[in-house]
Each structure stands twice: as structure tokens, then as C-alpha cells.
Amino acid sequence: MEDILIPKNTSDALALNRPIIEDTEYTTLNLGPTHPATHGIFQNILKMDGEKIVSGEQTIGYIHRAFEKIAERRPFYQITTLTDRMNYCSSPINNMGWHMTVEKLLGVKVPKRAEYIRVIMMELARISDHIICNSILGVDTGAYSGFLYVFQEREKIYEIYEEMCGARLTTNMGRIGGMERDLSPTAIAKIKDLIYNSLPKAWAEFEKLFNRNRIFVDRIVNVGPITGERALEYGFTGPNLRAAGVDYDVRVMEPYSSYQDFEFDIPVGHNGDTYDRFMVRNQEIWESIKIIRQALENLPEGPFYANENHYYLPPKHDVYKNMEALIYHFKIVMGEIDAPAGEIYHAVEGGNGELGFYLVSDGGRAPYRLHFRRPSFIYYQAYPEMCKGVSISDAIVILSSLNVIAGELDA
Amino acid sequence: MNNQQIAEDIVIKFGENAHSFEEPWGLLTFTTNRQHIISLLEYLKQHETFRFNFLTDLTGIHLPDNQGAEFGVIYHLHSLENNVRIRIKVFLSKDDIHIPTATTVWPTANWMERESYDFFGILFDAHPNLIRILNIEDMDYFPLRKEYALEDATREDKIDALFGR
């Protein structure tokens, strides 16, 4: 009987002749900028009704470093180091994407071996990117052990990076025109150990731990769903778009670096919720393993860089003995080499979506204008819509599953 | 469906409002004006065969020597069904940097336009929230404009004549 007397809406209140109780008192909550659960510097000013999020307002730009401006002064080969610092969880993809953009402008044809090595490195980067995203999603839902377990595999990938370029996080891998060094026997042994032994085992165990885990699944199914149409409107790309059921992948749509030679599937989700994003990334790791196996098995012989003296640094021992090599070395290092004028858009499939480089060259030695299409920057704006009506703990999970990388977001 | 067909269709529909057609590296590029940009974007998005349903990128460019058209806004559209990309440019004079917002066509244009405003000062009319996005709010200039040249602190000694320029 009692609840009839409490009006539920305005018309009830009028009918019952009782006052309307305004119980919507909103609280403002600052999530971030430096909250441990946001993995990066994101500020979200949330308007809360109890524990439910009513609306959110994002502030970004905390680690903005003006890459587009800096790039206008740098020779092309020095911009690679800027791209490292965008998506630092998968920097080789950024590096290779940039090299391919410049090669497209210069009209350089890269040898098959270099393209295959690039594919191997890019897929390793994708694996390490997805490892971070999915295992951290586990941490955010309270499952720490999976993260510790698979991070050993990420460490092995970083050792392969070290073998290939000497660095681990900001790799600066490859050169315009190819790779700076060939796959060494050590690197091949390490990659083989990773993709035939340790990673499949570890990842199968990780999936066993999570995929059908009741607590985990209850926590992420139907959290932050987005439809395919809405995702396209918001410019989603990469695993987040594929989780919403749209099978768009740059590697298949516009194959670059010999991706057309490999046999692999594009995993696609249904609801675009956190669980689908998690599962798509899981499956993509298996696909990446498949690609690396094919690339290693069919690795072509031959040079690992294009014969382009004007852009590719000559071997150091030639510089000491050979006049021509010394001249080119000097010209390249001092940034004396002009690029042709032109306008290029080149896209690669980055760790979390289509990473595009829009390059306008006026024929000088530095870009006239360089714009990075950063996937995180573009889809992060859908975040307030995705966490409307959910609790804070769910909002954390959604943010984590979107895999927004602060460096890429702010560039 | 190829670039030729798209270009012909656009010319039939928009006449001289779409001009300067070119194909750098196979990407159909053309220029339009700000009066027609939104109807053009909507037309391409709704077109039953082209279906340019994805706004890949929106950015600005500053061309200080281009008298009367110092600022450019560049749209990259992608038809996911046909796997074709196009690039549309709109040029604006520095005295009147106004262009209608594309947020009515794609919500994703929101932050891209804010970024272009932040860096170039391009004003997107009727934008829901046109404020700075990456730079601090009380910044009073637009840093990606060409008048703010980057200093090259390490190369002061460099005399152009010695390097044949």
C-alpha cells in the first residue's frame, strides 16, 4: 500500500495531490587526471547520481608535445623518433607506418625481405599492445595474476626489439628504405621460441583463466556496448570497431608491406561491449602469431634495405673508405636531402586502429605539414556516451578496454 | 566505381562548386567552398553507390603565401563498402576563417574540429563546444600557424650560401 502514495512521476504526483520529491542531487567527481585506474593522464569530470554516471566531461592534452609542429622543422628520418612516442605500447607499428609514408612519397620500392621483417616486427608489436590491454583489463577487474603471467611474454618481445634496434620502448626501428639491420640468428631464435613455445602456452593459459571465468565475464559482459553504426559515426577503427561487428582492417582493405601474402582471419564481435573487445583482442593475438609463423617460414632471401643512396644511410665501414658513401652519409645526417613535393595519406593498422599519416611536402627537407590521424584521439570522444548510466567501476573497465594510450591521444 | 565516376557525379551535382580535381597517388582530391561543404559531405554520405560513410580525418593547413585562401580544411572520407578514399579541401581567407561544422554529419568531427581550431584558429560555425582541446585554455595564439617558426637553436652558424642555397 505504501508505495502507491509515493509519486513516481509528475502526473502521479498531480493525481495523488502530493508534492514531487526531487531526489536528483548530483555530485561532481573528478576521475583523474592522475588516477591509478586510468593508466595515463586522463581527466573525466563526472556528474554522478549516486553511483551512476549521468554525464562526463573530458579534458585531454596533459602530455601534448606538439609533434606536428616539431615535425615541420625536422628532416624526415628524425620524425621517426616522434612517432615512437605516440602509441608507446606498439611503437614499431608507428615507426614502420612513418617509413612507409615517406617511401610512398619518395617512390622507394622496399625489398621483399625488408617487408617481411617489418611484418614480423609489426605483428610482435600488436601482440605486445594487446597483451597490455587485455591483461590490464584483468587487473582493473581484480585479477592480477594473469597480468603478471603474460607480462613475461611481453618482456620477451621487448628483448626481440632490443636485438633488432637496441631499444625497448621507444624503438626508432627501421629506416626509410628498409631495416637498419637484418634479422640476426639470435633474433630468429628468440622469435621462434616466442611464437612456437612460450607465447601460445601462456596465452592459452591466460584465456583459460579469463574467457569463461564467471566472475570476470559477469563483470564485463554488456558493459559499455556500442553499435556498429554508432561506432562508425564516432570514427572507431581497429579492434574496438571490429568488436562492434564491422570487419574493417587496413591490413586487408589496403594491404601494405606485403600483407596480401599472408593468410589470416579478422575476428569480429557482435555487441561491441567490453567482453567483445576483450575477445577480439585475444583472437587477434592468435592471428598475429599465425602471420609471424608464415612470415618466418617464407622469409625471402636478399637485401634488407632498398638501394637508395639518397635516403638510406650507407654502412659505416663504407663511410670510412668510400668517398661516395661519405658524401651521402654527410648529406643524410645533416638533413640536406630534399624530398619531392606531394601530398600523401598513408594508413596502417595500428595497435588500436587506423593510424594515418597525412603528409604535405613542399619539396623541402622537412614536411610542410604533417598530421597524425591518431585512432585513440578520435574514438576517445565516444567515452562519455559509452559510460552514461553505468557505475564508476564499469567506467574504469570501459576505459581500460578501449585501450586509450595517453601518448597517442595527446600527440 | 572509380575516381573518374565519382568526379563526374560530383561535377554533375555540384557544378563549378567542386573544382581542381587531381589524383595524387591515386587519391581523388578536389576543392570546394564553405557554402557547399556540408551539403557535399551529406550527399557523399547518403549516396546509394558511393556510401562515403566514414570520416577518416579532418585537419587544417596554413598557407600564408596563398593570397585570399590562407587556411585550408582538409577532409578525408572513406567508403568502407567500396574501399575508396577521397580528399576534400576547403580554403578560407585569413580575414574570415569561418566554416560550418561537420558535427551535424559525423559526431566524430567534434574533436577533430576542436583540434583544428586549437592549432590554426579555424572557426567552425555552430560547433557544439568550440574550445581548445590539446593546448591550455588561456593560450592566446594558434601555434601551428606558419608565423610561429620553430627556432633551430643548434644551427645558428649555418650560412645558406655555404651550402649552395
Residues B102-160: tens digit of each pLDDT? 999 999 999 999 999 999 999 999 999 999 999 998 889 999 998 887 766 455 666 66
Q: Which chain B positions have a beta carbon within 8 Å of A354's beta carbon? A: 56
CA A78 to mean position of chain CA atoms: 21
Amino acid type, A310: H
DSSP conformation class of A314: P
Quote the pLDDT of residue A49.
86
Residues of B in contact with A254 (CB under 8 A): 83
Q: Can you list the alpha helix ranges (DSSP code H) found in A31-90?
A: 67-71, 80-84
pLDDT confidence of residue A336: 78
Question: In chain A, what is the greatest distance between 2 CA atoms, to the nearest angstrom?
Answer: 99
ipTM: 0.90
What CA–CA distance (Å, rounded) separates B34 from A102? 31
**Parallel, antiparallel or unpaired: strands B28-32 and B84-92:** parallel
Q: What pLDDT does A17 receive?
A: 65
Name all domains of chain B by residue range, CATH numbers in brackets.
Answer: 3-147 (3.30.460.80)
Distances (CA, A) of A130 to A35, A58, A126: 22, 25, 6
CA-nearest residue of chain A to B105?
A233
Residue ranges of domains in chain A: 2-59, 67-410
Q: State which amino acid sits at residue B97.
A: I
Over residues B47-82, the pLDDT tens digits come to: 989 899 999 999 999 999 989 899 999 999 999 999
For residue A269, give the C-alpha cell. 564481435
Residue environment code for B75-89, b if the CB has 16+ CB neighbours within 10 A, otherwise e: bbbbbbeeebbbbbb
Q: pLDDT at position B23, please?
A: 92
CA-to-CA distance for A244 and A225, rounded, in angstroms?
Answer: 8
Distance CA B111, CA A344 (A): 22
**Residues of A engaging B, defined by a Cβ cutoff of 8 Å:** 60-61, 64, 66, 68-70, 72-73, 104, 232-235, 246, 248, 253-254, 336, 342-345, 347, 354, 356, 358, 360, 369, 371, 373, 377-382, 410-411
- How far is Cα A86 from Cα A64, in angstroms, rounded to an integer? 10
- CATH classification for the domain delimited by A67-410, as one of 1.10.3660.10, 3.90.1300.10, 1.10.645.10, 3.40.50.300: 1.10.645.10
In a mutational test of the B interface, the residue from A43, A82, A104, A233 whose CB has the highest number of chain B CBs within 10 Å is A233
Query: Which residues in chain A touch residue B108, judged by CB atoms under 8 angstroms apart?
Result: 233-235, 378-379, 381
B interface with A, Cβ–Cβ below 8 Å: 24-25, 27, 29, 53-57, 59, 61-62, 74, 76, 80, 83, 85, 87, 106-108, 110-112, 115, 119, 132-136, 143-144, 148, 150, 152, 163
User: How many residues make up chain B in this entry?
Assistant: 165
The Cα A213–Cα A219 span in angstroms is 10
The predicted structure's pLDDT at residue B149: 77
| Of B27, B32, B53, the residue nearest B42 (C-alpha) | B53
Under an 8 A CB cutoff, do B108 and A336 touch? no
Q: Which of B21, B22, B23, B25 to mutate to test the interface with A (most CBs of A within 10 A)?
A: B25
Confidence (pLDDT) at B151: 62
What was the pLDDT predicted at A365? Answer: 85
- Low-confidence residues of chain A: pLDDT under 70: 1-10, 12-24
| A171: three-class secondary structure by DSSP | coil
CA distance B53 to B41: 9
Cross-chain CB nearest to A360 (options B27, B61, B80): B61
